[in-house]
Structure 1
Amino acid sequence: MLKSTRNALLGATLLGLTFAGQAYAETTLNALFMAQAAYSEADVRAMTEAFTKANPDLKVNLEFVPYEGLHDKTVLAQGSGGGYDVVLFDVIWPAEYASNKVLVDVTDRVTDEMNKGILPGAWTTVEYDGKRYGMPWILDTKYLFYNKEILEKAGIKTPPKTWDELAEQAKTIKDKGILQTPIAWSWSQAEAAICDYTTLVSAYGGKFLDGGKPAFTSGGGLDALNYMVTSYTSGLTNPNSKEFLEEDVRKVFQNGEAAFALNWTYMYNLANDPKESKVAGKVGVVPAPGVAGKSEVSAVNGSMGLGITATSKHPEEAWKYIVHMTSQETQNAYAKLSLPIWASSYEDASVTKGQEELIAAAKLGLAAMYPRPTTPKYQELSTALQQAIQEALLGQTSPEDALKTAAENSGL
């Protein structure tokens, strides 16, 4: 009897709200995303709209911040005991977030279908100490983009397979007067520079940590920074790279002002869009190169996940939203700026059509993704390395000394 009365009342309420021309929202979720790279803000809004349409009793408030603000916004909201239900997090944060109880352990919520269907490499994005703290959402690595027309003009038949070849080809382009500074990188004193550095560390077979202690001061870690400094001081690299983030690199490349650029997946379709780009139809993409005798290709794990905050008052609804956002159906529908986490998506013509070259590069690059160091003190380590890279590029100190100082300041 009570149940039928409640249903009748609920029906009347819904009817009243409908007549008032308002949407009925029983629960509001607050979700934090980033305003750059990967999915566009419009895409995230469209995905969310599909979710709220299918779940009229749920409303989702979306907030977008630049990548640089994502970590601090999440942590500060946590400290104030409220804020967000769902947050986007980088692959480098699960260790810290798990240790400080920022995210909910969702290991038991993951279904068999998810376990079997999602690429194994994608799961590493959300894991720490054998547990899962969300669902992988953006599967990403940096690729080497090149301008086919410029290479052709320089008489270069195939893109570089090694980093040394890249420097040689850039020198040919410069010597022939086609472009003064053929290479663009994201070397601003920010996480972007660490992603480029990690790509090179992976190529040179380096290690960040050994037994939890810094191991990047010699071997591949030092080789990687030496390469960056040589590329910068040789005049082959755009000198503004030391201030560039990924969006700056995209703009320079799209304007035809770079022959080579290291960037995330999202640049491929934007740089090929005639409305956005002067080089549409001339964009080539391959995995980032390797180092002779050490690696075939190189790649950084730049993936991101969606998690439920420990302070969320609506964890069930938050999980429902995350499942929708990471579902194969949603990911396949928006596969032009970020490639799906689902293995079988790569055999789907609707996903691969028009981006076959990118998919071919992704199959190699995603399999070679190298992690940035897994440590709860990642933020301190990253800050110390960012400073080391800047100082070495500017010639304020040698690469060896810069990395030694970074190791001392890393908190490890």
Structure 2
Amino acid sequence: MLKFRKTTLVAAALASAAVAPHAMAETKINALFMAQAAYSEADVRAMTEAFTKANPDVTVNLEFVPYEGLHDKTVLAQGSGGGYDVVLFDVIWPAEYAANNVLVDVSDKITDDMKTGVLPGAWTTVQYEGKYYGMPWILDTKYLFYNKEILEKAGITAPPKTWAELTEQAKIIQQKNLLKTPIAWSWSQAEAAICDYTTLVSAYGGDFLKDGKPVFQTDGGLDALKYMVDSYKSGLTNPNSKEFLEEDVRKVFENGDAAFALNWTYMYNMANDPKDSKVAGKVGVVPAPGVEGKSEVSAVNGSMGLGITTASKHPEEAWKYITFMTSQATQNAYAKLSLPIWSSSYEDSTVTAGQEELVAAAEKGLAAMYARPTTPKYQELSTALQQAIQEALLGQSTPEDALKSAAENSGL
């Protein structure tokens, strides 16, 4: 009897030892984010720490790369065996990612509360052909930022409402020797330039594609590039704009070296931070201007979503992390660099306090967001347009010829 009891206890102990590590094992997921614009790296780490505190059985390995590396890093990791569980993706990528089976279709996980609570425009960030490939997370467009003090010194009583008016105000500022080059843009040969170009295409009422074929080389698309070239050649635009990304624009504006700048939401509170900015307290923000007779405001859809990769070995934990990061409570707590996707958040004083001017601009800007083309060949199209913009700015080609060449090289 004693021998049997000992044997039973030993067996039970071995069984317990075999089960315990499995029961207590942590699930590790890898998440890829960008290291610029919108939520800061510190914000993402703090959000993630709150998630792991609430979910001690899950650890999250965070990786941050510049926006320019986000797409290729995601795609290349798919075939590496390691890969990512959660990735941040731009509004321009769901078509390509769906066609190449990069992201999991999560349509069955989107609840009715999510559908009714999230701003309608935000859903376009993660949808393709009626399916959902993640949750919208960063709701963003480019706004026109202006230096209130410089405009006041120039005798300008209100920021421009049209792009033509912006040019006229910049001329006044230049003529009064307040600034040598009053305007800063992000026109480096990168996606940043396409976002500025798209903002102008929306202002001029242009189209990128019709029936799947390029039409940006005509009408509003051509007018947009002509405006960029005219602004550059006029000497009103900082000549380094052709090499600037958004962070460069922010630094120039914060140093007091630009009266006008087009940039994302995040710049508002960063430029108003006296620790880093010389223009804190002087920052104005309005929707990007329109074109008389064609538009009142202009805006590009620069939103981004969080999705689960098809390579993920932990899709359930990945989805739990995504729903936490995109939840209203999390977004409301970190609303200073990126505005929430939830419609009722804008009735919450913790979101609006201290940034009422930004929220007022967002109400108009977010409603006017214009999408870059939805096509699985977006990367080819964007590359061709980036090159066309550079050639036109540098005078190597006319806007007409540059866009005609881009249309021919777009892969469409």
Give the TM-score normalised by the residue count of structure 1: 0.95
1:10 positional shift: 9.2
Q: How does 1:286-301 map to 2 (within 5 A)?
A: 286-301=286-301
1:133 positional shift: 0.2
Partner of 2:229: 229
Please tell me the residue identity of whatever aligns with 1:144.
L
Q: How does 1:11-160 map to 2 (within 5 A)?
A: 26-160=26-160
Check 1:313–1:13 CA distance in 2 against 1; reply closer, same or farther (3 A cut).
closer
Please tell me the residue identity of whatever aligns with 2:160.
P
Aligned residues: 401
Q: Separation in 2 of the partners of 1:281 and 1:11?
A: 60
1:80 positional shift: 2.1
| Runs (5+) with no aligned partner, structure 2 | 1-11
Partner of 1:281: 281
Contact 1:25/1:56 (CA < 8 Å) preserved in 2?
Answer: no
Secondary structure of the equivalent of 1:125? Answer: coil
1:8 positional shift: 6.8
Contact 1:118/1:341 (CA < 8 Å) preserved in 2?
Answer: yes
Partner of 1:208: 208
Higher alpha-carbon deviation: 25-34 or 261-270: 25-34
1:231 positional shift: 0.2
Q: How does 1:241-252 map to 2 (within 5 A)?
A: 241-252=241-252
Partner of 1:18: none
Q: How does 1:257-406 map to 2 (within 5 A)?
A: 257-406=257-406
Cα deviation 1:308-333 (Å, max 9, x = unaligned): 00010100000000000000000000
1:165 positional shift: 0.1
Check 1:14–1:382 CA distance in 2 against 1; reply closer, same or farther (3 A cut).
closer
Partner of 1:189: 189
Identical counterparts, % of pairs: 83
* Larger CA Rg, structure 1 vs 2: 2
1:13 positional shift: 5.7
Please tell me the residue identity of whatever aligns with 2:201.
V
Please tell me the residue identity of whatever aligns with 2:315.
P
1:25 positional shift: 5.1
Partner of 2:173: 173
Contact 1:298/1:365 (CA < 8 Å) preserved in 2?
Answer: yes
Cα deviation 1:189-233 (Å, max 9, x = unaligned): 000000000000000000000000001001000000000000000
Please tell me the residue identity of whatever aligns with 2:97.
Y
Please tell me the residue identity of whatever aligns with 2:299.
A
1:82 positional shift: 3.1
Secondary structure of the equivalent of 1:285? Answer: strand
Q: Separation in 2 of the partners of 1:10 and 1:261?
A: 61
Give the TM-score normalised by the residue count of structure 2: 0.95
1:9 positional shift: 5.8
Secondary structure of the equivalent of 1:411? Answer: coil
1:159 positional shift: 0.1
Contact 1:25/1:59 (CA < 8 Å) preserved in 2?
Answer: no
Cα deviation 1:288-321 (Å, max 9, x = unaligned): 0000000000000000000000010100000000
| Runs (5+) with no aligned partner, structure 1 | 16-23
